[in-house]
Amino acid sequence: MSTASRLPTLSKLVVAAPFYGAAALAPATPKSIELPPDGALLKASALPGYAKAQASCVACHSAEYMLYQPPTAASPYWDAMAKRMKLVFSAPIDDADVPVIVDYLVKTHGAEQPTRPNAAD
């Protein structure tokens, strides 16, 4: 009984194997993927860190990464983030530029924004 019930399963596997092989060799069919809207930009600012952040922080990923950080994020958070980018991902950012970028980020995307989103709520 048990042997008989397993047999059909085995034969299905044997038949299926060449099919998978053919699928792997088939020409790649175009795939469509949904990307998030790419309109995310760093907030414009007269601070010197704006240009530096544009040069150093959106080379690998979009500004969305900064926009999704908590608006309450204070300087040490942004400082750790910039250093993390350098240490972990080898971001080419001058040590001297880090405090300038952090100053910009905390004042435009973090805790020191003049008008924080939801600040009046």
Cβ-Cβ contacts under 8 Å for 6 (sequence gap 6 or more): none
Please select the residue that binds ligand HEC; options are 42, 100, 101, 106, rule is CB under 6 A.
101
CB 30 within 8 A of CB 42: no
Query: Which of 13, 96 has the CB closer to ligand HEC?
Result: 96
85 in contact with ligand HEC (CB under 6 A): yes
Please select the residue that binds ligand HEC; options are 82, 104, 107, 110, rule is CB under 6 A.
82
| Residues 78, 83, 89, 90, Cα dihedral to 10° | 140
Cβ 14 to ligand HEC shortest distance, Å = 42
